[in-house]
Structure 1
Amino acid sequence: MTSPSAPNGPVFAAPHAAPPVGTLLTPPEPTRRGRPLGTWALALSVIATVLASAVGGFAAFRSARGAAPGLATMSSNGFDWRVLSPVRDLVLLGEVAFWSGTVIGLTAIVLGLVAIVRRSGRGAGIAGLVIAVLGPVIFGGLTLVAIVAGLAGVSSGGSPV
C-alpha cells in the first residue's frame, strides 16, 4: 500500500507531457520494404532506349554503307530487295535490336505504370516510364541519322562495309 504524501511534501511530476488535444495515438508505421519495381522499370527503359538504339544505329550505318553500291545502280521503277543481300547479317542485327528494344521497352512501361500505381518506387517508375516512351523516337532518329551518314560516307569516296 502507498502512504499518503505530506501536505507540503514533494509533488509528483509526470515523466512526460501529455499529447496535444486531438492527437490520435496509433502504433508506429510498419517499416518500408524495398522498392524494386520502379528501379526495374528505370533500368529496363535505359537498356531498351540506349542499348537497342546504339546497336540499331550501328547496324543501320553499316547496312547503308554496304548497300550503297547496289542502290546507285538500281532502276527507278521500284525497290529491289536483292540490294540488301550483301548486308543481310547487319539487317538481321538491326531487326533483332528493334524487336528486343520493343519488348524490353514495353516491359519497362508496364513496370513503370505498376510502380506508379502501387507507390513502389514511384519516382524511378515515372522516370522509367518517360524514358521508355521516348525510346522509339530516339531509336528512329538515331537510325535515320546513321543511314544518312552511311550513305553520305560512300558517296564521298568511302569504302563499303
Structure 2
Amino acid sequence: MPPFVVHLLALLHELSHGPATGTETGLFSEPNTGLLTLLGTLSAAQASEPVAAGRPCPAAFVGHLAQLLRFSAASLCGTPEFPDFAAPWQVRHVSPDEWQQLQRELGGAFAALRAVVVRGRLDEDRLNEALTALTHAATHTGALRFHIANVNSANPHGREQAG
C-alpha cells in the first residue's frame, strides 16, 4: 500500500475514532476525540438543539456527513447516485432511536469510504476526490467538536439538562 494511502487511512481513522490506539496524541487531535466517540456523549435532545440561533442542529450535521461520505465512497467506485443534498439540513429534532441510527449511519459511511480507499487504486483524480471528502469531513468534525465541548462544559454532570 502506498505511503499516501496509509496516511489517508490514518487521517480517516483519527477523524472517526480518534488517534490510533496506544498513541498519546494523533496527527491533529488528542485521544478520545474521534467524532463517533464525541457524538456518543450527546443525548438526542442535545443533538436536536441548534448549534447557534438560526443554525442547524448536530443531528443535521451528522446526517450531512454520512451522506457526503457515502456519496464520496460511491463516486470513488464510479457509481455515484446523487442524493437530495438538502435533506439532512432539514432535520430539526431526533428521537433517541433516530439519534442512535444517525450515529450508526455515520460510522458505516466512514467505514465505506475507508474500504474503498483500501481496495481501490487511487489515481490522481480519485486521490483528489478522497482528499476533498476528508477535508470536508474534517471541517464539519472540527465544528462539531467545538460545539460538543461547549455542550459538555455547560453540562458536566450528565447528558440531559435538568428539567
TM-score, normalised with respect to structure 2: 0.29
TM-score, normalised with respect to structure 1: 0.30
Relative contact order: is structure 1 or structure 2 higher (C-alpha 8 Å, sep ≥ 6)? 1
Structure with the largest fraction of helix: 1
